[in-house]
A and B are shown apart, each in its own frame.
Chain A
Amino acid sequence: MDRARGRPPLVLMLPALVGLVFLVLPLAGLFVRAPWGTLGTRLGQPQVLEALRLSLVSATIATALCLLFGVPLAWLLARVPFPGVRLVRALVTVPLVLPPVVGGVALLLVLGRRGLVGEWLDRAFGITLPFTTSGVVLAETFVAMPFLVISVEGALRAADARFEEAAATLGAGRWTVFRRVTLPMAAPGVLAGAVLCWSRALGEFGATITFAGNFPGRTQTMPLAVYLALETDPQAAIVLSLVLLAVSVAVLVGLRDRWTGAA
């Protein structure tokens, strides 16, 4: 400690420590109360594995969808000046601040069997989205996409657009510039956005339960399983929570080097 600058004032240190304890203690509680003895058998239960598989698969597909549509959307916001760009950016951010339950209700109103688009989808193609695994993916995509768009747009804005000009003078059209210069140079930002997006999708609860329901094996993801288990079998809820925690920490650790490397 730099003695010349004196002790950190208590008025800052105390709340800082309280904040830290508040963040760490509940996680520690999970470990303390975990039924370590029966952990193995509980994890091996088919409904746990089923929920875990569904969560991982749906979060990954949702992230892929977010990348497929979100990256071009972020590019549009960052690179193409058009009237109303601020309005569009605000609209993109709405799901970010919207309570996920409201998002679920909104999805139901549009894509539900009686919904504006859903009714047509049902009649024309026989496609039903609510209360299906596809519905889970859509709910997660809806909630997670803003994270990706905002993160990628930030990366694109921070990237030096003069490299794109250099590519243009070398004869590259806009698509080639995007593919060979813009995207590779924004890759760390895209990756960070994808991770955020995936974590958000993995933890999605409100929109999923509203739009896709809670059917084991079909739409019951880990967060829904945790919530349900808490009422019937608290020990199982703890085990499931630990699994989610482990997955989150694994992702964080796995990508930490890439993040710091890109910074």
Chain B
Amino acid sequence: MTASANRVRLDGSGRPDGPGLDARLVVRRPRFDLDLVLTAAPGEVVALLGPNGAGKSTALRALAGLTTLADGHVRVDGRDLTNLPPDERGVGMVFQEYLLFPHLSALENVAFGPRAQGTGRREARRRAAEWLEHVGLAEHASARPRALSGGQAQRVALARALAVRPGLLLLDEPLSALDAHTRLEVRAALRRHLAGFAGAAVMVTHDPLDALTLADRLVVIEGGRLVQEGVPSEVARRPRTPYVARLVGLNLFRGRADGGTVALADGNLKIDAVTSLEGDVFLAFEPSAVALYRSRPDGSPRNLWKARVAAVESRGDRFRIRLDGTGPDASGPDGPRVSADVTAAAVADLGLAEGSPVWASVKATEVRVYPA
């Protein structure tokens, strides 16, 4: 599904009466105000990302009508939902802990929506059975939620939300309650079901993998405001805030470009890149692109600085080294805070431990520079 083809503009200048979701959410909170323009085309999956307390869940609740808007609007397929209570919105929601009704069977849980919408008991149960079949849980129809595994409960919750035939589907951290192994399976299944869903979908997550694999577009919010949005590959390649950079595992700096050289905003280090730009820029590179040396390497590569190891963390078969810049008394330029990924052999060879002095460098070809 190519989302960008039928994407609605984010600035709200898109088609207000068109299909899909068109919303501006303003919610006042004691600690922050949420003010977010959010759109999603039919069939598009938008992932809402952000640090804890950024307002992701608040935005989702506002779309569902569970939180009152101070200002703004919510339109789905041209229908104005702004002042409607949750039960009249026709918005499906998959909650973080699924919230399956414990006193009802899986089938009755899925049939709950159609029943509440006025469908007869028999027809509602028939439709619920169809949905359970669709998510591969037909044989668990009579099971109580308590008897279901986490992955099964997630699928029942999805079937329950889809059974009301929503114009808009909301997913609040749909995979966060699952263990790593189940998550893999359920993610693949969820991807299939989302692809088969004709309406707009908004998913809150803080897992970059969920966002990158399930979403057609990412919307990153911090402190209740949009800070970055775009297709996953673009956001992953060109983060614009430290949060996004951490999320996608990149070193990110601000600086001022003068041709192919960027002067970092903090410290006095200058980094050479192959891209030639002028003015304020972002500069990003992968932790694996950083090379570490015990002593100043011969041939003096460019982009070399002196640093001190602040922390060594094990990450599977690699080690992540957190580097602090050393300060003006060192012989090299004032270094930035950088993460570097190295092998176990390198940790041993270089004798890397907290406090060790090292030389760090990054190749100009590995450095991405883009306008701020």
- Structural contact, A162 and B116, CB atoms closer than 8 A: no
Q: How far is the CA of A173 from the CA of B87 in the complex (A)?
A: 6
- Structural contact, A169 and B93, CB atoms closer than 8 A: yes
- Structural contact, A169 and B64, CB atoms closer than 8 A: yes
* Chain A proximity mask over B64-93: 1 for CB below 8 Å, otherwise 0: 111000000000000000000111111111
- Structural contact, A172 and B101, CB atoms closer than 8 A: no
Q: How many residues of B contact A (CB 8 A)?
A: 25
Q: How far is the CA of A166 from the CA of B86 in the complex (A)?
A: 9
Residues of A within 8 A of B88 (CB): 171
- Structural contact, A172 and B112, CB atoms closer than 8 A: yes
A71-79, A179-187, A209-217, A242-250 - the one binding chain B: A179-187
Residues of B within 8 A of A180 (CB): 101, 112, 116
What's the minimum C-beta distance from A137 to chain B, rounded to whole angstroms?
A: 32
A227 at interface (Cβ–Cβ under 8 A)? no
In the complex, chain A residues 140-176 whose Cβ is within 8 Å of any chain B Cβ: 160, 162-163, 165-173, 176
B372 at interface (Cβ–Cβ under 8 A)? no
Residues of A within 8 A of B97 (CB): 162
B336 at interface (Cβ–Cβ under 8 A)? no
- Structural contact, B112 and A185, CB atoms closer than 8 A: no
- Structural contact, B103 and A184, CB atoms closer than 8 A: yes
Interface centre among A181, A185, A187 (most CB of B within 10 A): A181
A165 nearest in chain B by CB position: B66
B279 at interface (Cβ–Cβ under 8 A)? no
- Structural contact, A172 and B116, CB atoms closer than 8 A: yes
B142 at interface (Cβ–Cβ under 8 A)? no
B89 nearest in chain A by CB position: A169
A187 nearest in chain B by CB position: B103
Interface centre among B89, B90, B113 (most CB of A within 10 A): B113
In the complex, chain B residues 45-65 whose Cβ is within 8 Å of any chain A Cβ: 64-65
Interface residues on A, range: 10 to 19
- Structural contact, A167 and B101, CB atoms closer than 8 A: yes
- Structural contact, B116 and A170, CB atoms closer than 8 A: yes
Q: How far is the CA of A125 from the CA of B91 in the complex (A)?
A: 52
B164 at interface (Cβ–Cβ under 8 A)? yes
- Structural contact, B66 and A169, CB atoms closer than 8 A: yes
- Structural contact, A163 and B113, CB atoms closer than 8 A: no
Q: How far is the CA of A202 from the CA of B92 in the complex (A)?
A: 48
What's the minimum C-beta distance from B86 to chain A, rounded to whole angstroms?
A: 4
In the complex, chain B residues 139-184 whose Cβ is within 8 Å of any chain A Cβ: 160-161, 164
What's the minimum C-beta distance from A123 to chain B, rounded to whole angstroms?
A: 45
Q: How far is the CA of A165 from the CA of B87 in the complex (A)?
A: 9
**Option from B85, B103, B117 in Cβ contact (under 8 Å) with A168:** B85
- Structural contact, B164 and A166, CB atoms closer than 8 A: no
Interface centre among A163, A169, A184 (most CB of B within 10 A): A169
* Chain A proximity mask over B92-103: 1 for CB below 8 Å, otherwise 0: 110101010111
Known: A168-B66, A172-B116. A163 touches B90 (CB 8 A): no
Interface centre among A166, A177, A180, A187 (most CB of B within 10 A): A166
- Structural contact, A171 and B85, CB atoms closer than 8 A: no
**Option from B86, B92, B116, B117 in Cβ contact (under 8 Å) with A165:** B86
Q: How far is the CA of A169 from the CA of B161 in the complex (A)?
A: 8
Known: A171-B90, A172-B112, A173-B87. A166 touches B117 (CB 8 A): no
- Structural contact, B87 and A168, CB atoms closer than 8 A: yes
- Structural contact, A166 and B93, CB atoms closer than 8 A: yes
Residues of A within 8 A of B103 (CB): 184-185, 187
- Structural contact, A171 and B101, CB atoms closer than 8 A: no
What's the minimum C-beta distance from A250 to chain B, rounded to whole angstroms?
A: 27
Residues of B within 8 A of A165 (CB): 64, 66, 86, 95, 99
A180 nearest in chain B by CB position: B112
What's the minimum C-beta distance from A126 to chain B, rounded to whole angstroms?
A: 45
- Structural contact, A167 and B112, CB atoms closer than 8 A: yes
What's the minimum C-beta distance from A115 to chain B, rounded to whole angstroms?
A: 43
**Option from A160, A176, A184, A185 in Cβ contact (under 8 Å) with B116:** A176
B119 nearest in chain A by CB position: A171
What's the minimum C-beta distance from B145 to chain A, rounded to whole angstroms?
A: 11
Q: How far is the CA of A177 from the CA of B89 in the complex (A)?
A: 16
Known: A163-B99, A163-B101. A169 touches B91 (CB 8 A): yes
- Structural contact, A171 and B113, CB atoms closer than 8 A: yes
- Structural contact, A171 and B117, CB atoms closer than 8 A: yes
A173 nearest in chain B by CB position: B87
- Structural contact, B116 and A167, CB atoms closer than 8 A: yes
Residues of A within 8 A of B66 (CB): 165, 168-169
What's the minimum C-beta distance from A117 to chain B, rounded to whole angstroms?
A: 38
Known: A165-B66, A165-B86. A170 touches B112 (CB 8 A): yes
What's the minimum C-beta distance from A177 to chain B, rounded to whole angstroms?
A: 8
Q: How far is the CA of A162 from the CA of B100 in the complex (A)?
A: 10
Q: How far is the CA of A184 from the CA of B113 in the complex (A)?
A: 17
Residues of A within 8 A of B91 (CB): 169
Question: Which 7 residue pairs are nearest across A and B when measured between Cβ atoms?
Answer: A170-B113, A172-B116, A168-B86, A166-B99, A171-B116, A169-B93, A171-B117
Q: List 9 A-B contacts (CB under 8 A).
A: A166-B93, A166-B99, A167-B112, A170-B113, A171-B87, A171-B164, A172-B87, A181-B101, A185-B101
List residues of A whose CB falls within 8 A of some B CB.
160, 162-163, 165-173, 176-177, 180-181, 184-185, 187
- Further 20 A-B residue pairs, CB within 8 A, beyond A168-B85, A185-B101: A160-B99, A165-B99, A168-B66, A168-B86, A169-B64, A169-B66, A169-B87, A169-B91, A169-B92, A169-B93, A170-B112, A170-B116, A170-B161, A171-B87, A172-B112, A172-B116, A177-B87, A180-B116, A185-B103, A187-B103
